[in-house]
Amino acid sequence: MNWSITPAQASTQAVAFDQLFWTMVGFSLCVVTLVGLLIFVFSLRFRARTGVPRKTVATLESRRVEIFWTAATAFFAIFFFWYTSTVSLDAVEAPPDAMEYHVEAKQWMWKTRHPSGVREINAMHVPTGRPVTVFLNSQDVIHSFYVPAFRIKKDVVPGRTSTVWFEATEPGTYPLFCTEYCGTNHAVMTGEVTVMEPAAYARWLETRAEGETLAAEGARLFTSAGCSGCHAEASDVHAPPLTGLFGRDIPLEDGRTVTADAAYIRDAILLPERDVAAGYAPIMPNFTGILEDGEVEALVAYIRTLALEGEGR
- Per CB under 5 A, residues contacting Cu ion are 143, 178, 182, 186, 189
Q: Is 36 in the site for other proteins (CB under 8 A)?
A: yes
Q: Is 151 in the site for other proteins (CB under 8 A)?
A: yes
To other proteins, the closest distance from the beta carbon of 176 in angstroms equals 10
Size of the site for other proteins (CB under 8 A): 88
d(CA 213, CA 113) in angstroms, rounded, equals: 7
Instruction: Characterise 45 by phi-psi region: left (phi > 0), alpha (psi -120 to 50), beta (else).
Output: alpha
Considering only residues 8 through 27, tell me which ones interact with other proteins, judged by CB under 8 A. 13, 16-17, 20-21, 24
Q: Is 87 in the site for other proteins (CB under 8 A)?
A: yes
d(CA 213, CA 229) in angstroms, rounded, equals: 23
Q: Is 313 in the site for other proteins (CB under 8 A)?
A: no
To other proteins, the closest distance from the beta carbon of 106 in angstroms equals 11
Q: Which is nearer to other proteins, 70 or 116 (CB)?
A: 70
To Cu ion, the closest distance from the beta carbon of 118 in angstroms equals 25
Q: Pick one of 155, 212, 261, 295: the residue that binds other proteins (CB under 8 A).
A: 155
Q: Which amino acid is at 67?
A: I
Convert residues 178-197 into a mask of x (bound to other proteins by CB under 8 A) and - (unbound). xxxxxxxxxxx-x-------
Q: Which of 220, 242, 232 is nearest to 303 (CA)?
A: 242
To other proteins, the closest distance from the beta carbon of 22 in angstroms equals 10
Cis peptide before 3 (omega within 30 of 0): no
Q: Is 92 in the site for other proteins (CB under 8 A)?
A: yes
Q: Is 173 in the site for other proteins (CB under 8 A)?
A: no
Q: Contact at 8 Å (CB) between 119 and 85?
A: no
To Cu ion, the closest distance from the beta carbon of 182 in angstroms equals 3
To Cu ion, the closest distance from the beta carbon of 190 in angstroms equals 9
CA 236 to chain centre: 40
Going from the C-alpha of 122 to that of each of 104, 166, 174, 203, 259, the distances in angstroms are: 10, 18, 12, 20, 33
Q: Contact at 8 Å (CB) between 101 and 133?
A: yes
